[in-house]
Structure 1
Amino acid sequence: MRLLRLARLYPLLAGGVLATIAVTLLSLAGLHDAGRWIATVAVGVVIAITAWDMVRDILRAHFGLDILALIAMVATLLVGEYIASLVIVLMLSGGEALEDYASRRAARDLTALLDRSPQTAHVVENGTDASTRDVPVGEVVPDMELLVRPSEIVPVDAVLLSERASFDESSLTGESLPVSRVAGEEVLSGVVNGSNAVRVRALRRSADSQYQQIIALVHEAQQSKAPTVRLADRFAVPFTLVSLLIAGVAWWIAGDPLRFAQVLVLATPCPLLIAAPVAFLGGLSRSAKEGVIVKGGGVIEQLARVRSAAFDKTGTLTQGRPELVEVRAAVGMDADEVLRLAASAEQYSSHVLAEGVRRAAVDRGLRLAPAAFAEEIATNGVTATIEGHVVVVGKPAYVTSLAPETRRTELVSGQLAAYVAIDGRFAGALVLADAVRPEAAAVVAGLRARGVGRIVMLTGDAEATAEAIASPLGVTEVHAELLPGQKVSLAAEMAPRPLLMVGDGVNDAPVLAAADVGVAMGARGSTAAGEAADAVVLKDSLLPVLRATEIGRHTLQVAYTAIWIGIVLSVGLMLIATTGLIPAVAGAFIQEFVDLATILYALRALTGPKPR
C-alpha cells in the first residue's frame, strides 16, 4: 500500500523505475529491440512533459535549467544510449521525491506548531466544572468561561479566573521553566496548562489569539516561494552555455555524436534545482527553532544582506513595561485625582504607557470610572469624558493643542512622561520609567560587527527621552517625536540597503511593511505589527533578531556553496568525459552522486551558524 501511495505521489518516478526494470530484464533475455522501444516511449513521455513545462516557463519570461536535462535525454536516445536516458529520467523524477523528503525534514520545526493547534474548548455551564460543553475552538467568543484541564493547551487568549496556575510557555517564548500566573493575569493561547485544572475567561476569538496568529505566520512561511529558484536560475544561462560549449567541442574533436551525449549527461542541473531550495528551507527551520518565524526564503536572503537597521524605542529597545515614578500635579490639582481620571481615560488606550498608568492607579487603590465617550488619536493620546470631565492624556504637543498652558516637565535618563489636561486645563504630568532591555547593547554591537553600518532609532517619544535611551546603547542617530507616516518616509530614504526595521506596536506596522525586512516583537506585540512584518520574534528578547541575521548569512553561504559544489564537480566531470573515459550510463550514475553530495551539504543549513 505504501508503494502504491508513493507511485500516486510520484508517477514519473514510478514509471521510470518500472521502465528501467523492464528494459533491464529484456536486455538480459537478449530482447534488446523490445527494451529500446520501451525506453524510447518512457523517456519520450518525460521529454514531452519537460518540454511543455519549459515552454510555459519561457512564456512567463523565466529561463530555467530544464533545457539541459531535456537535451541530455534527447541526445542519449538519438545515439542509442537508452539506458543512460532512463537513468536521467530516474535522476530528475527521483530528485523531486528527494527534495520533498528534504523539505519535510527541514520544515519539521515549522510544522510542530501546526500539529499542536487546539481543536476544541471546554465551555463551563451552570458555573460548575462538572458541567462543561465541548465546542470547536472557532466558536469561542469573548467572555466565555472555559475550563482548561491538566496538560491541555489553552485554546484562546484569556484571563485567568483561578487563584493561581502554572503554564509551560516554551512553545511561544522559549522559556524552558513553567511560568506562574495569578488571577487576573492574561494567559496566551498555545501555552500548556500545568497539573491542575483551571478556569479562564476568553479575551479574544481563536482567529485573533496569539497562537493562531503564529500558526498563520507558519502557513505563510511554508507557502511562500523562496528566492532559491531565482538564486539557482542566476546560474542557469552561463551553466547551460558552458555545458553545451564543452559538449559541442567534444563532439567536434571526436567527430562522434556519442561524445556529445557522454558529456551532457554529466551536466544535468539537479544540484542547482534541489540543493539550494533545501538550504533555504533549512534556514527557515533553524530560524523557527531560534524563536523567529520568517515569512519565506526571500526574507532569509534579505536578512543575510542587511546593511542598515532601525529600531523603535518603547517595547523594542526598552522592556515595554513603564512603571509610574511620580505624579507631578499642576498647582491646585490633587495628585491622586489626576492619576485616577488619567487612568480611567487610559482604559481606552492601546499605548504601552497606558498599562503602566492603569496599574499604578489600581495599586494605589483608586477606583477607575467608565467613560461616556472615548477616542484614541493614534500616536498622540486619548480623549475621554469621565464623570462629566473631558480628560486628555498624551504627548505634550497633543495636550498643548487642547490646553495651551501645558508645561513640559524635566526628565532624567530613562524617564518619559504622559501629560494630562482636564476640562481644557493643564492638570499635570505622569512620569514613568521604562528600563532598557539588558541585551539591547549587545545586539546593537553585534549588528555593527556583522557589517550593519547604520543603526538608528525611530520613535514617537520625546527627543530627550529617546536620546537618553539611545546613547548608552551606542545608537548615535535618533529621530524622535515621529508620526507613523514620518517613520515610513525616513525608512524609505534610508541608505545603505537593505534596511532592517524592528518594532512592536500598532504604530510600527506601516514602517515594518515599508522596510526591506520588518521584524515584529511578537511575544507581547500587536497583531497588526505581526501581520505587517516579514519576521516575528516569539521570545521577549532582541537576541533572536541578531541570531536571525546570522542564520540568514549562514544559509545564503550554504546555498551558494552547494551550487558551486555542483557546478565545479559537473564541469570537472564533463571535461573528463570529453576524452571518452566516462561512458554515458556511468556518467548518469556518477551525476547521482554529485546530486547527493550537494544535497547533503545543503542540509548543513539546518544546524545554523555557531553562536559567537
Structure 2
Amino acid sequence: MTTLVAAVRRYPLVALTVVVGVVGLALNWTPASAVVPWLLSGYSLVVAAREAVSMIRRLFRKEFGLDVLAVTAIIATVLVGEYWASIVIVLMLTGGEALEDFAAGRAQRELKALLSRVPQIAHVFDDSGELVDVPVTAVTVGERLVVRPSEIVPVDAVLVSASTAVDESSLTGESMPVDKVAGDLLLSGSVNGPEAVTVTAAARASESQYQRIVQLVSEAAASKPALVRLADRYAAPFTFVSVALAGIAWWLSGDPTRFAEVLVVATPCPLLIAAPVAFMAGMSSASAHGVVIKNAGTLEVLARAKTVVFDKTGTLTRGTPEVVAIRPESGRSEEAVLTLVAAAEQYSSHVLAASLVAEARRRGYSLPAVTDAREVATHGVQARIGTEVITVGKPAFVAEQAPGLAQVDLGSGEAAVYVAVDDQLAGVIILRDAVRDEAQRMLHDLQALGIQKTLMVTGDIEQTAQKVADELQLSEVHAECLPEDKVRIVHTITPGPVVMVGDGVNDAPVLAAADVGIAMGAKGSTAASESADIVILVDDLYRVVDAVSVSKRTVYIALQSIWIGIAISIALMLVAMTGVMPAIVGAALQEVVDLVTILNALRALNLGRNAGSARVASDSSSPLSAGAR
C-alpha cells in the first residue's frame, strides 16, 4: 500500500488518467453514460492544453518533439468523437514519461549501497582533548584530527604522527603506496594505511583537493549538451506524413470526416511508449549483470560510441601490487626467500607487506615462528627467526646489516623489497601492479562492437603508462595528467561520442565531461561513481563490453519497435484513406499496433551478455607503476 501511495504521489498525472478511465468505464453502463464523452474528451483536452504549452516553448527554441504529435492526435480523436482513443493516447504520453523517470530512479537506488561510504564526518579533538565526530564541513584550519585505518582523509592535512603509508591512486594514478612522515601533506581523497594517525587540518573542506575536483565535476557536467530523445527525431516526419495523408484523403473524397478517420490510426503511441519501454527493459537487463545505467539517454549515446578512453591504475590494472619475480642470493631458493620475507612482514603495517604475505600463503608455504620483531616506519622490518636476524625493506635499510648489498635494476612500475639474513643479502622480491587478465579480451571485443579508437589518459609517469599501452596496443597515451588536463584531452578527442572509463577521485571530472562516463565502482571512489553515467558494481573490466553491447541491442530494439509501429500505422492510414475503415475500427486497430510495439520493446528484458564475464586464463604481467617501500 505504501508503495502504491508513493507511486501516485510521484506520478499524479498517470494516476489521474487511470482514475478518469476507470470512472468512464463505470459510468458507461449507467444512466449517466451521456457524461462519459464529456468527461474523457474534457480531460484529454486539458492534458493536450498542458502539453501545448510545452510544445510552444519548444517550438520557440526550434525543437520539434513528440508533444506536437501527441497534441495533434488528442485533438483529432476528440473532434471525431473517439474519446476512448484520446484517453489511451494521454495514458501512453504520461506513462512513457513516467517509465523513463522510473528507470532512472531504479538506477539511483542500485547505487545507494555504493555511495553510502561517502565520508561525512571527521574525528576531531575538542578543547578538552576528547575525540568527537563533526561534519567534514565544520573542520577549521589548525584543528587536530584522527584518520582511522583505511579511512579517506577528509581534508588536506599535515601529518603529526611519525609516519604512515597512504593510497593516492585515486588522486594521482600512482598505484604503489606512498610513504609519509611527520610534516608531510596528506591530500583529501587519499586513503590512510592500516594504522590510525593524527593530522592537523591544513585547509577547510571547501578548499581541499577533493573539493577542487568536485568543482571540476560540476563544471564538466554543466558543459554537456542536452540530448535529443530518440523518438523525438521521428516525431516531425511522422507528423508531416500523417497530416499529409489525412489531407490528401480529405481532398480526394471531399469529406472532412475522412481527415479524422486517417488521423485516428496515426496516434503516436508507438513513438511515445516503445522507446521508454525498451530503455527501461535494457537498463534492467544491464543492472542484473552489475552494470547500473543512470538514464535512458546514456544508452543512446553509448550505442553510437566510437572512442573509449581508459584510466590506468585500478582500471586497466588491478591497482594492487603483486609479486612478479623472486631473485635469490647466497644459494637460497625462491621458497626460502619468500618464506623469510613473509614471516617478517606479518609484523609490518606497510601496504606492500600484505601482498608479500598473501603470495606466500597462495603458494602454500608454511611461515616459521618469529621473535623480537620490530618495524622501522617507512624503512622496513627486522625480526629474529631461530638464531638468525632477518632484515626486510628498502635497500638502504637492509644495507646497514648487509654492507655488500647492490641495488637491482628495476623496470618502470616495479618496486623491490630486499631481505638479508644476518650480514648477507638473501634475495630481492620484485612487485608490480599487473594489467587485468580481462583487459586484452575486453579491448578486442570493443573493436568488434565498432569502437574505432582506444587510448589511455593517466596521472602516472610517461614510462610506466607507455609500457601498459604497448602491451595492450592502445592507440594513444597521455601521461602525467592533472584532472583538468584529462577534461581538456577528452574534449578534443575524435571520433565521438567519447566514453571515459575510470575509478579514482581524479577521474571524476573527466567522467562527467565525457559523452559517457563509466566508473569502476566496486573498488573505486564515490566521487567517480557519482559523476559517471554508468557504474560497474563488480570488479570486472569486461563489463564495459557488456554495457556497450546492451546499449546497442537496446537501441536496436527501440528503433525496431518504433519502425514497426510507424509501418503498421502508415499501412492503416492508407487503408483509412479509402473510407472502408470507420473511425471506431481504426481506433481499435491502433491499440493492436500499440500492443505489438510494446511486446517487441519488452524483448530488451532478455538481453544476454555478449560474451559473458571475462575469465581469461592469462598469466600476463606487465610493468606498471613505479614505487617502492
TM-score for both structures, normalised by structure 2: 0.60
1:90 to 75, 88, 91: 88
Amino acid in the other structure paired with 1:89: I
CA shift at 1:543, angstroms?
0.9
CA shift at 1:311, angstroms?
1.8
Change (3 A) 1:226 1:294: farther
Aligned partner of 1:585 in structure 2 is: 584
Amino acid in the other structure paired with 2:351: E
Task: Report the secondary structure of 1:298's partner residue.
Answer: helix
CA–CA distance in structure 1, aligned partners of residues 110 and 228 of structure 2 = 26
Aligned partner of 1:445 in structure 2 is: 444
Matches within 5 A, 1:363-442: 366-367=374-375, 369=377, 410-412=409-411, 415=414, 432-442=431-441
Are the equivalent residues in 2 in contact too, given 1:484–1:507 (CA < 8 A)? yes
Amino acid in the other structure paired with 1:367: E
Pairing 1:355–2:351 present: yes
Are the equivalent residues in 2 in contact too, given 1:323–1:357 (CA < 8 A)? no
Task: Encode CA deviations 1:272-305: one digit per residue, 9 max, x unaligned.
Answer: 1111112222222222222122232222222212
Aligned partner of 2:486 in structure 1 is: 487
Task: Encode CA deviations 1:99-154: one digit per residue, 9 max, x unaligned.
Answer: 75797689768746769999xxxxxxxxxxxxxxxxxxxxxxx9999xxxxxxxxx
Amino acid in the other structure paired with 2:23: L
Matches within 5 A, 1:164-243: 230-243=229-242
CA–CA distance in structure 1, aligned partners of residues 499 and 48 of structure 2 = 45
Aligned partner of 1:18 in structure 2 is: 23
Change (3 A) 1:417 1:452: farther
Matches within 5 A, 1:462-611: 462-611=461-610
Are the equivalent residues in 2 in contact too, given 1:20–1:86 (CA < 8 A)? no
Task: Encode CA deviations 1:429-484: one digit per residue, 9 max, x unaligned.
Answer: 99631222111110011112222121122233344433333333232533334444
Are the equivalent residues in 1 in contact too, given 2:96–2:276 (CA < 8 A)? no
CA shift at 1:504, angstroms?
2.0
Are the equivalent residues in 2 in contact too, given 1:66–1:269 (CA < 8 A)? no
CA shift at 1:227, angstroms?
8.3
Matches within 5 A, 1:5-154: 10-19=15-24, 21-23=26-28, 41=42, 43-58=44-59, 62-78=63-79, 81-82=80-81, 84-93=82-91, 96-97=94-95, 100=98, 111=109
Are the equivalent residues in 2 in contact too, given 1:414–1:435 (CA < 8 A)? no
Change (3 A) 1:320 1:95: same
Are the equivalent residues in 2 in contact too, given 1:226–1:296 (CA < 8 A)? no
CA–CA distance in structure 2, aligned partners of residues 503 and 42 of structure 1 = 49
Pairing 1:456–2:455 present: yes
CA shift at 1:327, angstroms?
12
Matches within 5 A, 1:200-349: 230-323=229-322
Are the equivalent residues in 2 in contact too, given 1:228–1:276 (CA < 8 A)? no
Task: Report the secondary structure of 2:500's partner residue.
Answer: strand
Aligned partner of 1:177 in structure 2 is: none
Amino acid in the other structure paired with 1:244: V
Amino acid in the other structure paired with 1:65: L
CA shift at 1:230, angstroms?
1.8
Task: Report the secondary structure of 2:229's partner residue.
Answer: helix
CA–CA distance in structure 1, aligned partners of residues 496 and 59 of structure 2 = 31
The count of aligned residue pairs is 448
Change (3 A) 1:309 1:357: farther
Identity score, percent? 44
Change (3 A) 1:319 1:493: same
CA–CA distance in structure 1, aligned partners of residues 266 and 532 of structure 2 = 40
Change (3 A) 1:72 1:544: closer
Change (3 A) 1:444 1:589: same
CA–CA distance in structure 2, aligned partners of residues 25 and 477 of structure 1 = 74
CA–CA distance in structure 2, aligned partners of residues 285 and 590 of structure 1 = 30
Are the equivalent residues in 2 in contact too, given 1:520–1:537 (CA < 8 A)? yes
CA–CA distance in structure 2, aligned partners of residues 322 and 462 of structure 1 = 17
CA shift at 1:90, angstroms?
3.2
Task: Report the secondary structure of 1:319's partner residue.
Answer: strand
CA shift at 1:39, angstroms?
6.0
CA–CA distance in structure 2, aligned partners of residues 316 and 93 of structure 1 = 44
CA–CA distance in structure 1, aligned partners of residues 513 and 104 of structure 2 = 29
Amino acid in the other structure paired with 2:352: G
CA–CA distance in structure 2, aligned partners of residues 464 and 116 of structure 1 = 34
CA–CA distance in structure 2, aligned partners of residues 117 and 536 of structure 1 = 11
Amino acid in the other structure paired with 1:268: T
Change (3 A) 1:114 1:62: same
Aligned partner of 2:159 in structure 1 is: none
Task: Report the secondary structure of 1:500's partner residue.
Answer: strand
CA–CA distance in structure 2, aligned partners of residues 502 and 496 of structure 1 = 16
Q: Which runs of 5+ in 1 are unaligned?
A: 119-141, 146-155, 158-200, 202-224, 329-338, 348-353, 372-390, 392-407, 419-428
CA–CA distance in structure 1, aligned partners of residues 96 and 475 of structure 2 = 49
Which is bigger in relative contact order (C-alpha 8 A, separation at least 6)? 2
CA shift at 1:535, angstroms?
1.9
Amino acid in the other structure paired with 1:356: L
Are the equivalent residues in 1 in contact too, given 2:319–2:433 (CA < 8 A)? yes
Task: Report the secondary structure of 2:580's partner residue.
Answer: coil
CA–CA distance in structure 2, aligned partners of residues 42 and 523 of structure 1 = 48
Task: Encode CA deviations 1:329-376: one digit per residue, 9 max, x unaligned.
Answer: xxxxxxxxxx9xxx9xx99xxxxxx833786699995525499xxxxx
CA shift at 1:607, angstroms?
1.8
CA–CA distance in structure 2, aligned partners of residues 366 and 498 of structure 1 = 55
Task: Report the secondary structure of 1:460's partner residue.
Answer: coil
What RMSD, in angstroms, separates the aligned Cα atoms of the two structures?
Answer: 4.8
Task: Encode CA deviations 1:525-565: one digit per residue, 9 max, x unaligned.
Answer: 12232233222221111011111111111111112111111
CA shift at 1:263, angstroms?
0.3
Aligned partner of 1:137 in structure 2 is: none
CA–CA distance in structure 2, aligned partners of residues 370 and 472 of structure 1 = 32
CA–CA distance in structure 1, aligned partners of residues 49 and 583 of structure 2 = 22
Task: Report the secondary structure of 2:470's partner residue.
Answer: helix
Change (3 A) 1:460 1:16: closer
Task: Report the secondary structure of 2:431's partner residue.
Answer: strand
Task: Encode CA deviations 1:35-59: one digit per residue, 9 max, x unaligned.
Answer: 7666655555454444445445545
Task: Encode CA deviations 1:388-416: one digit per residue, 9 max, x unaligned.
Answer: xxx9xxxxxxxxxxxxxxxx984347636
